[in-house]
Structure 1
Amino acid sequence: MTAQYTHGHHDSVLRSHSWRTAQNSCAYLLSSLTPTMHILDVGCGPGTITASLARLVPLGHVTGIELSASDVLQNARAHAAAQGVANITYALDDVLALSFPDASFDVVHAHQVLQHLSDPILALKEMLRVAKPGGIVAARNTDFAAMTWFPESEGISLWHKTHQQVVRSNGGEPDAGRRMLSWALAAGVPKAQITATASAWCYSTPAEIAWWASTWEERVLSSEFATSALERGFATQADLAAMSQGWKTWGAQPDAWFGHLHGEIVCRKKQEARVAALQAEVESLEKELGTHEDAEAIVKKHIKLLHRYNEAKDAAQILIGRLATLKETTVKQIHDELDLRHSD
């Protein structure tokens, strides 16, 4: 069910993707992160975003996954080691059938992944499944039709057209950015739980233009894109040469400018399931409390249980009410432990 990845993992592709970091590629998510979070980074590629996310959750952990590119993950591990990032692991996995149990991660993140999938809605459902109640599913995708550049270039225009043909023939959707909100709704996320935004990459400095032009000058000739374009009749070798030359010529222009828009979503998984799970565990512990000689030990179990859930103050209040038969000093201990003395 997974579509073919249009670009493949040629060195020219990985060099391009290695520019990406959490700061320049998922800034829309960063304000939601806390130091203890556990994050799943779907389609992590060379791991530069993954490693920078790991730095932002120093007391947590980040797991990066790729579908089949084990050599890419080796490079990602080497990058993390070189950066001194230890709270990170990498594994092979499929976003359309994730191997992780339900409610495994505080954040499930995917950058420029959904556009390459044959079923992005199923992918979002899987991402939601492994997100904890109250957790976050975040995704960002470019919108190819919204790309723009100057000066005009026949070679780049041909590349733009051909790229969209190749992506769609692979089962993907190049104009994914504008569909992000729609896909999240189709995956069952209530609109009130979705924050949909947009941001852009813009290349305008001499260094940015030289880098962007040179990566595509090589990619149109050497990556999986070139192979697919030729095999499926979307381009000839002469066309690919014209695209490459177009990028080279454009990149030499002093007024060269390139911008492209990205659609973004942050989906908050409903918290009701968290409270329900907590109540079930509380009820189990309360049965134990009825026959246990050491009530204080059971209270401590309750406290540890509550700490496993972020923002579960309502559930904590329910717990305190159910333990009202305990000594007043024990109830005060719970208040102090959970810092709920002044909560609403």
Structure 2
Amino acid sequence: MSTSNMSTYRQGHDPSVTYNHTLRTAEVEGAFVIPHIKPEFKILDVGCGPGTITTGFAKYVPQGSVTGIDLTDEVLGQAEAHLAQQSPKISNVKFEKGNVLDGLHFEDGEFDLVFCSQVLIHIPDPVSALREMKRVCKSKTGLICAREGDWPFRYVPYSPGLQVFHRYFYEMINGKAPSSIAQPDQPPFAPGHKGGSLVHVHARQAGFDPSRIEKGGKVTIYGTESERRQYATSMINRMEKGGHNEKYVQKLGATEEQLNEIAQAWKEWADDVDGWHAIMHCETICRN
């Protein structure tokens, strides 16, 4: 695979990072897509991660197939392991290494539906990615579907430690954050921002007809005690086991004091009976 346009997933694929990804399902992340799927569809899942959504689509295309692509052997190994654990065995799913920015090896119009979830926000050139997804999708009848989180994330309470986390997390994905990142009521748009609310704009720039772009969205809430503890633990594990601490320090200039402040803030948020966290997901369907 060429590395001329090599895209990287800056959060990495350590199991402490992909743990949250393994909780994603076709029935939740792909709920807006499922009504459009026909049994004979060929589906491409771009940025498939550990493969739980990819394998979840399989039951909806018994006469078709699902192909998942991602960047590294590490995460594709996790996807293959997940596929091997399915019972009954799934025979219409496969995983391959592929980078949408380098150009995919698939033929023009090879797929009926191209899907991605939480992928375009991590790609340095989402317009080029959507253009390539458009190419491999059938003209006139094909669907390109994206579900992408948007900024700002919402926290209650929005403690100083979570504000520090929010800024560094944003910068790891989008680059330098503006000062408004610490203000929960102001969208932290900055040059290079790739939030889900801009997917339809990027799609238009990629050549899709705006009149054939459908825009929707849903919100994921973490509010119960068990939801808070699970989410906070996963965030702390990402920092301490998944290499995020090192990235915050080496790439973004965080201090050891700030890292400790972030970890303590997550623990306090998980224990807080008023603790609440929301992420808006923008769901976009582009008709080719």
Q: Same fold (TM over 0.5)?
A: yes
* Aligned pairs for 1:4-23 within 5 A: 4-23=8-27
Deviation at 1:175, TM superposition (A): 4.7
TM-superposition CA deviations, 1:230-283 (whole Å, max 9, x none) = 1124312221221112111111112211111111210111xxxxxxxxxxxxxx
How many residue pairs were aligned?
267
Matched, 1:128 2:134: yes
Paired residues of 1:42 and 1:66 also in contact (CA < 8 A): yes
Structure 1 runs (4+) deviating above 4 angstroms are 172-175
Take 1:142 and 1:173, find their aligned partners in 2: how far apart are those partners? 15
Letter in 1 for 2:150: D
Deviation at 1:174, TM superposition (A): 5.5
Pair 1:219–1:257, CA change in 2 (3 A)? same
Letter in 2 for 1:93: G
Residue in structure 2 matched with residue 42 of structure 1 by the alignment: 46
Take 2:232 and 2:10, find their aligned partners in 1: how far apart are those partners? 19
Matched, 1:239 2:258: yes
Choose from 82, 85, 89 the match for 1:82: 85
Take 2:58 and 2:245, find their aligned partners in 1: how far apart are those partners? 34
TM-superposition CA deviations, 1:172-215 (whole Å, max 9, x none) = 95551110110111011001111011111111122211111110
* Aligned pairs for 1:173-184 within 5 A: 175-184=194-203
Q: Secondary structure at the match of 2:36?
A: coil
Residue in structure 2 matched with residue 159 of structure 1 by the alignment: 165
Paired residues of 1:164 and 1:174 also in contact (CA < 8 A): no
Higher CA-based Rg: 1
Residue in structure 1 matched with residue 35 of structure 2 by the alignment: 31
TM-superposition CA deviations, 1:70-118 (whole Å, max 9, x none) = 1221221121121232210000011111111111101111111111111
Choose from 66, 69, 73 the match for 1:70: 73
Letter in 2 for 1:266: I
Residue in structure 2 matched with residue 218 of structure 1 by the alignment: 237
Paired residues of 2:65 and 2:92 also in contact (CA < 8 A): yes
Structure with higher RCO (Cα < 8 A, 6+ apart): 2
Residue in structure 1 matched with residue 184 of structure 2 by the alignment: none
Q: TM-score, normalised by structure 2?
A: 0.88
Q: Secondary structure at the match of 2:106?
A: coil
Take 1:82 and 1:105, find their aligned partners in 2: how far apart are those partners? 26
Q: TM-score, normalised by structure 1?
A: 0.74
Take 1:6 and 1:239, find their aligned partners in 2: how far apart are those partners? 20
The answer for unaligned runs of 5 or more in structure 2 is 177-190
CA RMSD after TM alignment:
1.8
Pair 1:140–1:190, CA change in 2 (3 A)? same
Q: Percent identity?
A: 35
Residue in structure 1 matched with residue 147 of structure 2 by the alignment: 140
Matched, 1:100 2:106: yes
* Aligned pairs for 1:199-278 within 5 A: 199-269=218-288
Paired residues of 1:18 and 1:46 also in contact (CA < 8 A): yes
Higher helix share: 1
Q: Secondary structure at the match of 1:63?
A: strand
Pair 1:99–1:33, CA change in 2 (3 A)? same
* Aligned pairs for 1:46-61 within 5 A: 46-61=50-65
